[in-house]
Amino acid sequence: MTETIDIEYLRGWIGSRDTIADLVSEDLARKYHATFDLPGNAPAHGEIVPRLIHFCLGQPAVPTAGLGDDGHPKRGGFLPPVPLQRRMWAGGSLVFHGDLRVGDTVERVSSIDDVVLKEGRTGTLCFVTVSHRIEVAGTLMVEERQDLVYRGMDAAGAAAKTLPPADPGEHRQEMKAETPLLFRYSALTFNGHRIHYDRSYATGVEGYPGLVVHGPMQAAMLLNYATKLRGEPPARFGFRGLSPLFEGETFTLNASSRGDRLNLWTAKQNGPVCMSAEAVWA
């Protein structure tokens, strides 16, 4: 299949840059706080907001007529027009240099760092690496790398790979991703991807057994859990999606200590790891 994708054409996007500014509003802080059931009162003007709230800032706002069939903006623009149907946020890493506060005007400077084609177990995969610099008044607050992966649809009747059940962590918290939570996170991040809210599309077109729980939302849950366990947010955080989690499934947040860091993961009940992460304080 690799010969049907002009990788050199797609690699022409390497070095492309995009800059966008957005406001950390009191309204966003209030809704983010409510979505994740965070303790205490939502941050007021001038107060620190939770880390990873910047995933909600500066999202593409193309006209509705400019959306593709999957609900994402049509291919092209800042991201390369990879001709594979499924697009997923596979993981990323972050270094935090400071905290965002309610009232900050945030500027995100983004660039395409790499575009790579590989053959995986399920067929052709295209990996796009995007870097972001999150700044406030010219001061760097967050350095971020995002790993996006594009792949084709699963073949009809293809058997899913059987993964071993996850080990329990030293710390565990049971969760359930119900439909309103998925809707709220899609709304906060202005994410039109239909796999998160349109069950007939998710099951009938992309072949999933149900609505897909957002990877970035799982990452935010794990970072919030790490912050709760250690009493302060980590200085560095990385995460990687390993298997999908679906609406209505009971799952756990897990954490185990390893020196100055926590290994973290989400896992289905009696099922495999869905997302792994690492939080580092030193």
**Domains delineated in the chain:** 2-280 (3.10.129.10)
pTM: 0.93
Task: Provide the 10 A C-beta neighbour count for residue 107.
Answer: 18
Q: How many degrees, rounded to 5, is the angle at CA 40 between CA 36 and CA 45?
A: 90
| pLDDT on residue 16 | 96
Residue 19: partners with Cβ closer than 8 Å, 6 or more residues away: 107, 108, 109, 110
- Average pLDDT (164-186) is 94
Indicate the range of 22-26, 97-101, 182-186, 269-273 predicted with least confidence: 269-273
**Does residue 231 carry a pLDDT above 60?**
yes
**Does residue 243 carry a pLDDT above 50?**
yes
Using CA atoms, how far apart are residues 200 and 83, in angstroms rounded to an integer? 23
**Does residue 159 carry a pLDDT above 60?**
no
| Per-residue pLDDT reduced to its tens digit, 116-126 | 999 877 689 99
Residue 65: partners with Cβ closer than 8 Å, 6 or more residues away: none
- Average pLDDT (85-92) is 90
| Per-residue pLDDT reduced to its tens digit, 106-148 | 999 999 999 999 987 768 999 999 999 999 999 999 999 999 9
